[in-house]
Amino acid sequence: TMPLVVTSPAVGIALLLGALVILGTWPAMMDICTLYKRNDIHTFLDYATGDFAFAVIAALTLGSLGAASPDNPTFFTQLGDMGRNWPSVISTLAGGALLMFGNLTLQIALTMGTSLGVILPIQGALCVIISTTINYSLSPENNDATLLFSGMFFFLLAIVLSSLAEVKYKGYLRRMNREHPKGIAVRRAERKAQHDSAGPASDGEDEEVESASETDSVSSGNEDATEASLADITGDTDAEVVEQAVEKRATLQSNKVVKGLLVASSGGVAFGFFSPLFNIGVNDHFHWLPEGTVHLTGWTANFFFALSFWFWAHVTGVARMSGGPKPTDFGAYVKDGNKRGLAFATGVVCGFGNTLQF
């Protein structure tokens, strides 16, 4: 037997269109997974397992169909030939690792407060620009440069507009009453005026008012230090002190926005290289394989690609379990079956989409 091979351009285009639909479906399924109160790391590990499971099934079935041919060995034949085709195997393994790194940066950028609506355009655009440029340079005779690079211009425009939108949005939040130190001072001044107009109060009432005032100033992350400096601000707060607090908070949030964008951009670069590495693993553009060695089939390359993604997903996932807002451990992950089937199915759908495009 030999792997199923697609030779018709029409069938290839149909597969790509199907891949676009499927690759646009699994993120929606992942969003549904996040609606349930389950640790995000648990969900992602199940997703990675589903992706790898589909790659294994595809290699064992579709990767072993058709008439036998020395030029198209089966999946198991290529596994036994790793002593010769290992450069291509390493290339696909590296591609899977970079895909995992890109996913990790997305999660980190989200925890830094960067909007998902900004992360996805930046990473998607960088992925298309870098991967298209490299893949074109590998096989320029098979591509239309004008069409490809015209499309890349619009992806580059998406990066610029998304970054500007994120900076503008965070600036708007800083002007909101809940995000502005002046707003906190004004609210305290109003409470003090209301308290004074109501006449003297007991010590218990004073403590209650002070407690309520302090509660309203509680925030998260780096903003805690700024809020603490405003603990004694009242209606007669010195304007210079408030302005300093405003400037400090603006600086902290601006730095946070920049760091989030940098993390998201690094993930986009990683996404941009995983496809060329897979391409090199299958087509051996640099002639790394010994003479006479058959190139990896798409099914075999996809198996190693998914294996690497699954492996690094678990390595990074286990390493991150003890930290973050929801500490956990591997034992808790094994016992946590909440919506595991949905997360696993999400990975299967993603694996199906990747297989179609590869």
> What pLDDT shows up at residue 72?
77
Q: Is residue 221 in some structural domain?
A: no
Helix (H) or strand (E) holding 165: helix 145-175
**Residue-wise pLDDT tens digits, 197-244:** 655 544 444 444 444 444 444 444 454 555 555 445 445 455 565 555
What's the token pair of residue 73? Answer: 């060995």
Per-residue CA distances from 131 to 188, 195, 329 (Å): 54, 64, 36
Question: 68 CB contacts (<8 Å, ≥6 apart)?
Answer: 1, 2
300 domain residue, yes or no: yes
Which 3 state secondary structure label does DSSP give 78? helix
Cα dihedral: 223, 224, 229, 235 (round 10): 80
- Tell whether 189 is covered by a domain: no
285 located within any domain = yes
177 domain-assigned: no
260 within some domain: no
| pLDDT tens by residue, 266-314 | 999 999 999 999 999 999 999 999 988 889 988 899 999 999 999 999 9
What is this structure's pTM? 0.70
Of 139 and 294, more confident? 294
Domains contained in the chain, number: 1
Q: Is residue 150 part of a domain?
A: yes
Per the structure, the complete domain to which residue 303 belongs is given by: 19-157+273-357
Q: Go through 298-311 and write b for each residue having 16 or more CB atoms within 10 A of its CB, e for each that does not.
A: bbbbbbbbbbbbbb
Is 339 domain-assigned?
yes
